[in-house]
Amino acid sequence: MTLQIRTPFSGWSTPLDEIPDEVFARAMLGEGAAIDPTSDELRAPCDGEVLSIAAASHAIALRAPGGAEILVHVGIDTVALNGAGFTLLARKGDRVRAGDVLLKFDLDAVARQARSLVTPVIVTNGDRFRIVRTHLGRRLAAGDVLFEIEEQVAASVAGDSPGPALVVSEAVVVAHAHGIHARPAGLIARVAKSLPHRLEVRARGRSANPRSAVALMSLGVRGGDELVIVGFEAAAAAGVAEIARVVRELEATPTPSAPARAPAPPPASPVPGAPGCVRGVIANRGFALGKAARFENEDIAVAEAGSGAVAEEAALGRAQGAVRARIQTRAGGAAPDLHGILRAHLELLDDPQLVDAALAAIRDGKSAGFAWRASIAASVAELNATGDARLMERATDFADLERQVLAELAGVQQRRAEIAAGSILVARDLTPSQLVDIASRLAGIALMAGGPTSHVAILAGTLGIPMLVGLGTSIREVLDGADLVLDADAGVLNMQPDAAALATARARLEEAKARGARERAAAAQPCHLASGERIEVFANLAGTTADARLALEQGAEGCGLLRTEFLFLERATAPDEEEQRGSYQQVADLLGDRPLVIRTLDIGGDKPIAYLPLPAEENPALGLRGIRTSLWRPELLDVQLRALLRVTPAVRILVPMITEFAEIDFVRQRLRTLAGELGVPVPQLGAMIETPAAAMLADQIARAVDFLSIGTNDLAQYGLAMDRGHAELAARIDGVHPAVLRLIEATTRGAAVHSRPVAVCGGLASDPDAVPLLLGLGVSELSVVPGQIARLKAHIRRWTLDDCCRLAERALLLENAADVRQLVRSQS
User: Cβ(59)–Cβ(29) under 8 Å?
Assistant: no
CA 546 vs CA 125, 438, 621, 664: distances in Å: 48, 19, 31, 31
Q: Is the predicted pLDDT of residue 726 greater than 50, yes or no? A: no
pLDDT mean over 315-325: 88
pLDDT mean over 691-720: 93
Domain 277-298+416-516 CATH (choose: 3.40.50.2000, 3.10.129.10, 3.40.1530.20, 3.50.30.10): 3.50.30.10
309-410: what CATH class?
A: mainly alpha
Q: Is the predicted pLDDT of residue 128 greater than 80, yes or no? A: no
Question: Where are the strands (E) in 115-241, listed by range?
Answer: 119-123, 129-134, 139-140, 145-151, 168-173, 199-203, 206-208, 226-231
Distance CA 782, CA 786 (A): 12
Highest-pLDDT range among 103-112, 288-297, 456-465, 678-687: 678-687
More confident residue, 192 or 89: 89
pLDDT mean over 425-448: 84
Catalytic residue among 58, 339, 455, 737: 455
Q: What is the pLDDT of residue 257?
A: 31
Domain 2-151 CATH (choose: 3.40.50.1820, 1.10.760.10, 2.70.70.10, 3.30.1360.120): 2.70.70.10
Distance CA 265, CA 294 (A): 24
3-state secondary structure 473-539: HHHHHCCCCCEEEEECCCCEEECCCCHHHHHHHHHHHHHHHHHHHHHHHHHCCCCECCCCCECEEEE
Lowest-pLDDT choice from 258-267, 445-454, 614-623: 258-267
Short-list 165, 174, 153, 168, CA closest to 220: 174
Q: Percent of the chain having pLDDT more than 70? A: 81
- CA dihedral angle for residue 305, residue 307, residue 310, residue 312, rounded to 10 degrees: -60
Q: What is the CATH number of domain 524-827?
A: 3.20.20.60
Q: What is the pLDDT of residues 20-29, one digit of tens each?
A: 765 577 665 6
Instruction: Tell me the average pLDDT of the chain.
Output: 81
Domain boundaries, the chain: 2-151, 168-249, 277-298+416-516, 309-410, 524-827
Work out the pLDDT band at 255, boundaries 50, 70, 90.
Answer: very low
**Radius of gyration over alpha carbons of the chain, in Å?**
29
Structure letter (DSSP) for residue 232: S
Q: What is the pLDDT of residue 192?
A: 82
pLDDT mean over 165-169: 60
CA 416 vs CA 402, 436, 489, 801: distances in Å: 16, 11, 29, 52
Q: What is the pLDDT of residue 336?
A: 58
Work out the pLDDT band at 684, boundaries 50, 70, 90.
Answer: very high
Short-list 462, 470, 397, CA closest to 433: 397
Q: How far is CA 401 from the centre of its chain?
A: 18
Q: Is the predicted pLDDT of residue 335 greater than 80, yes or no? A: no
CA 608 vs CA 174, 196, 621, 626: distances in Å: 16, 20, 11, 11
Catalytic residue among 46, 277, 559, 761: 761
- Is 345 annotated in the active site? no
pLDDT mean over 89-105: 90
Q: What is the pLDDT of residues 742-754, one digit of tens each?
A: 999 999 999 999 9
CATH topology of domain 168-249: Histidine-containing Protein; Chain: A; (3.30.1340)
More confident residue, 320 or 112: 320
Work out the pLDDT band at 791, boundaries 50, 70, 90.
Answer: confident
- Is 527 annotated in the active site? no
Q: What is the pLDDT of residues 574-619, one digit of tens each?
A: 889 999 999 999 999 999 999 999 999 887 544 456 566 655 555 5
CA angle 516, 790, 757 (to 5 degrees): 160
